[in-house]
Amino acid sequence: MKDTYSIGIDFGTESGRAVLVRVRDGKEIASAIYEYSNGVIDSRLPVEEEVPLGTDWALQDPSDYLKTCYEAIPRVLEDSQVNPENIIGLGIDFTSCTMLPVDEEGSPLCWKENFKTNPHAWVKLWKHHAAQPQATKLNEIARERGEDFLQRYGGKISSEWLIPKIWQIAEEAPEIYDAADKFMEAADWVIMQLTGVEKRNISVTGYKAIWSRATGYPDREFFAALDPRMEDLVEDKLSEEIYNLGEKAGNLTPKMAEKLKLPRSVAVAVANVDSFVSVPAVTVSEPGKMVMVMGTSICHMVLDRERHFVEGMTGCIEDGILPGFYGYEAGQSAVGDIFAWFVDNCVPEEYQAEAHNQGISIHELLEKKAARLKPGESGLLALDWWNGNRSILVDADLTGLILGMTLNTSPEEIYRALIEATAFGTKKIISAFENSGVEIEELYACGGLPYKNKMLMQIYADVTGKPIKIAASEQTPALGSAMHGAVAAGKDRGGYPDIFSASENMAGLKEEEYLPAEEASSIYTKLYQEYERLHDYFGRGENDVMKRLKKIKRQYE
């Protein structure tokens, strides 16, 4: 039987990446990246007029998603030299909750002349945190009303999610709220562009839109309690038809098939979330294993047969990651982003020159220098809250902290302390799972960081005291999407009957594994105690200085 192929597209924060893989064994035949022309929009809109954005805003341009398809898919076809007729499936995954308002035709409101200078007409990226006031009020109201759904989300709805983002639009730009025919996850919007049909997926809806298979969305009274305008939100501007992962959304529209140079027969899977799609792509399909997608942020995913209440997880959704399991998600809202911030803002000229002379990146130079340090040698300790704390505190108003500086503190010491802080953050999440009866024995890593920074991975192993295995594919989410594409195509067309058989055949691990070193682990145990104490002091209301400072800061916005 001739080989079949599937394409996966991973829509990230800065770029989109397409991979073309062989269905038989998951081998990557070709890949292509498209860097979003407007990237993350966080200071001003990409329009002629000067439209500045407030603190905590993060937008995107939906055109960048289409351009990713138009540029990257033809490129992988050309590079691979695969006959397009042998491409049987296409899957996509996305950052989430990344959402936008669209009109009756599904056209983004930011494309309209009369709305393009209104920031609320644009895509709100996952890390848009300006809906924190709405999230805070939503949580208060939900607690007052005794809404059961809070339990499914670790006790708090994040400002990153759909309902707070929609509410921010309703409050700050009622004209956009009214003009929006629908609010959609960008993931589902792209699927609609590809297939012409609206098929919202269970992952984004379950994890980010307060929906569950058993109970649906919150009721009308709840939405009315938030804002009378939002009473009919679900009926008017969302949808209650929710589709399972691996289901086929449809075939390509004629126009899209032409643009992408693919046959119309390609089966397009319903969309997925970048982190969840990675779970089967790192071979994980059972409990006891935590998958970490490590990049600008970290998403942590665990499967379990039962529902437990775990503090500060961002969601626990039946069938949300793999069918037949409760899928738990937790997250750290900034990890690689913190190191990037450090490199952009805190590394002196002479280090830049040294990296240049050695022909290595500044991250590599810092890793080299920091790797010479022992745990605890710098005397530094940090709280990794540069972008708030998603798990386990679910509080976007928390901010970063570093202490222990002396006049001899070096940049590499700070860099290492920031890495350690993110590892402590992960350990805190693991502890929350374990304290709630969800066992975690091994860690599985994918995303950009595990391949870039060995020191970081060793620190994570030492801090958590757990072995870490690494996905064989560096394009794990895209591979996972291609796997879902192969499932959408189905066995008869040369794909797979379900995601488990796809995972078994298409996913793999690197031979190299990170094991915790005893001596380092024992020092990190002490440092982690200090981290925990500061975590609780600043994060659990004992001293809300970070929030009070943010309040003062907001007076200037």
By the criterion CB under 8 A, which residues form the site for a copy of itself? 42, 55, 334, 337-338, 341, 344-349, 352, 374, 376-381, 383, 386-387, 399-411, 414, 523, 526-527, 530, 533-534, 537-538, 543, 545-546, 548-550, 552-553, 555-556
Q: Is the dihedral of CA 209, 11, 21, 200 positive or negative?
A: positive
Between 74 and 400, CB nearer to a copy of itself? 400
Between 309 and 537, CB nearer to a copy of itself? 537
Between 214 and 407, CB nearer to a copy of itself? 407
Place of tokens 């870490």: 468
Q: What is the DSSP letter of 321?
A: S
Q: Please name which of 174, 172, 146, 150 lies closest in space to residue 161, comparing C-alpha atoms.
A: 150
What does the block give as tokens for 300?
């942590």
- In the complex, the smallest distance separating the C-beta of residue 151 from a copy of itself, rounded to whole angstroms, is 30
CB atoms within 10 A of CB 431: 16
Q: What is the DSSP letter of 468?
A: E
Measured at the CA of 301, the angle between CA 300 and CA 306, to 5 degrees, comes to 140
Between 323 and 404, CB nearer to a copy of itself? 404
CA 399 to chain centre: 20
Between 25 and 377, CB nearer to a copy of itself? 377
Between 119 and 327, CB nearer to a copy of itself? 119
* C-beta of residue 291 within 8 angstroms of C-beta of residue 303: no
- In the complex, the smallest distance separating the C-beta of residue 282 from a copy of itself, rounded to whole angstroms, is 27
Between 289 and 416, CB nearer to a copy of itself? 416
- In the complex, the smallest distance separating the C-beta of residue 413 from a copy of itself, rounded to whole angstroms, is 9
Between 130 and 180, CB nearer to a copy of itself? 130
- In the complex, the smallest distance separating the C-beta of residue 442 from a copy of itself, rounded to whole angstroms, is 29
Q: Please name which of 82, 26, 29 lies closest in space to residue 496, comparing C-alpha atoms.
A: 26
* C-beta of residue 424 within 8 angstroms of C-beta of residue 536: no
Between 192 and 423, CB nearer to a copy of itself? 423
Pairwise CA distance, residues 502 & 281, whole Å: 9
Q: Please name which of 269, 271, 219, 267 lies closest in space to residue 240, comparing C-alpha atoms.
A: 219
CA 497 to chain centre: 27
Between 420 and 474, CB nearer to a copy of itself? 420
- In the complex, the smallest distance separating the C-beta of residue 159 from a copy of itself, rounded to whole angstroms, is 14
* C-beta of residue 464 within 8 angstroms of C-beta of residue 427: yes
Pairwise CA distance, residues 505 & 511, whole Å: 17
Place of tokens 């693919």: 262
Would you state the torsion angle of the CA atoms of residues 472, 329, 132, 540, taken in this order, to the nearest 10 degrees?
-110
- In the complex, the smallest distance separating the C-beta of residue 50 from a copy of itself, rounded to whole angstroms, is 18
- In the complex, the smallest distance separating the C-beta of residue 341 from a copy of itself, rounded to whole angstroms, is 5
- In the complex, the smallest distance separating the C-beta of residue 378 from a copy of itself, rounded to whole angstroms, is 7
- In the complex, the smallest distance separating the C-beta of residue 186 from a copy of itself, rounded to whole angstroms, is 21
Between 246 and 411, CB nearer to a copy of itself? 411
- In the complex, the smallest distance separating the C-beta of residue 515 from a copy of itself, rounded to whole angstroms, is 23
| Residue 41 φ/ψ, nearest 5 degrees | -95, 105
Q: What is the DSSP letter of 37?
A: T
Q: Is the dihedral of CA 268, 270, 275, 277 positive or negative?
A: negative
- In the complex, the smallest distance separating the C-beta of residue 541 from a copy of itself, rounded to whole angstroms, is 14
What does the block give as tokens for 533?
């104490």
Q: Please name which of 15, 33, 16, 22 lies closest in space to residue 75, comparing C-alpha atoms.
A: 33
Residue type, 521: S
- In the complex, the smallest distance separating the C-beta of residue 402 from a copy of itself, rounded to whole angstroms, is 6
Between 114 and 522, CB nearer to a copy of itself? 522
CB atoms within 10 A of CB 231: 16
What does the block give as tokens for 35?
């860097």
> What are residue 300's DSSP bridge partners?
292, 330
